Amino acid sequence: MSIDIEDLAARIVLGERRALARAITLVESTRTDHRAAAEALLDRLADPSRAALRVGLSGTPGVGKSSVIEALGLQLVETGHRVAVLAVDPSSARSGGSILGDKTRMERLSRESAAFIRPSPAAAQLGGVARRTREAMLLCEAAGFDVVIVETVGVGQSETLVSRMTDVFVLLLAPAGGDELQGVKRGIMEIADLVLVNKADGDLAAQAMRTRADYAGALRLMRTRDTDPEGIPAARAISAHTGAGLQEAWAEVEKLAAWRRESGVTARVRAAQAGQWFEDELRADIEALLAADAELAARLDALRAEVEAGRAAPSAAARAVLDPLARALRDA
């Protein structure tokens, strides 16, 4: 496709949702010419002053992530916010395809002019987010969205990558989703800033309050972090169906984000996130370079066959590839 970077950047800054959608498609492309164009576009739009409040939201499948985001997003739009939702859908391990149905599940929010919903496939990326979620966040900020919500795949305890690209990480749980000891598990629980127990309505209301109390007690046992004010992490009960507790939960998010900005935590954490982003890109590009060289690719296939047959250790095979490259770099 023909790409006029200056025109596309100008339309994104004006808040055109179609231009934003096209830009995200561009940064998600793996074509070499598209990657070059995407990098030029991101450089053109770089402006730290346009940083939005970045919120990551995770939870097990079926807990109501899309319902909570829609209910919360509608409230935020009503109060003057512009909300972008980057929803990551799981990809099939067999076909590689994704349903990408989050926009359908958030039908009311998708009709709001001050909201933007973009589903993306997780593909082979682990950690519940897509490979280009970071770039998509920057594009949404350039388009004037002041709240960016990243909804993860929902894979459970290992889904922690989203916390390395957002300002506040929210974990969504269901009432009676497990015994009380679930709350003291490490991994995703220890990086959550706010734990929200959804479905606190109807017959589940009492159970939701008990679950909230269980998790509140478990969170108090967690090691304190220098990125948290008093009372964080916290647990709250909410209902996406009735809207109960959503305003209070968002007030908690804003209070935490403001404290971190004023105390310098946000600047420090975002700098560390940018460094991690650089390292992730470096690793991915090295793998791409190895695969793109026909001679190296054949060498990798041969070594992989040796490893699979049990005739070589994985670590030794990896060194057989990397040591010659390291020597060539030193001699260059």
What share of the chain has pLDDT > 90, as a percent? 48
**Residue 31 banded pLDDT, cuts 50, 70, 90:** confident
The pLDDT assigned to 60 comes to 77
DSSP labels, 120-166: EE-TT--SSS-TTHHHHHHHHHHTT-SEEEEE-----TT--GGGGS-
What share of the chain has pLDDT > 70, as a percent? 85
User: Is a pLDDT exceeding 90 seen at residue 9?
Assistant: yes
Cα 183 → chain centroid:
22
What value does the mean pLDDT of the chain take? 84
164 vs 78, residue with greater confidence: 78
- Selection from 208, 192, 203, 190 nearest residue 245 by Cα: 208
The pLDDT assigned to 11 comes to 96
Are 151 and 65 in contact, with CB atoms under 8 Å apart? Answer: yes
- Selection from 63, 20, 239 nearest residue 152 by Cα: 63
**Residue 219 banded pLDDT, cuts 50, 70, 90:** confident
User: Is a pLDDT exceeding 50 seen at residue 99?
Assistant: no
Q: Are strands 115-121 and 83-89 parallel, antiparallel or unpaired?
A: parallel
82 vs 2, residue with greater confidence: 82
CA dihedral sign of residues 153, 155, 157, 158: negative
The stretch 20-33 carries a mean pLDDT of 90
The pLDDT assigned to 25 comes to 92
User: Is a pLDDT exceeding 60 seen at residue 186?
Assistant: no
User: Is a pLDDT exceeding 80 seen at residue 329?
Assistant: no
**Residue 180 banded pLDDT, cuts 50, 70, 90:** very low
The stretch 311-329 carries a mean pLDDT of 86
d(CA 147, CA 257): 12
User: Is a pLDDT exceeding 90 seen at residue 89?
Assistant: no
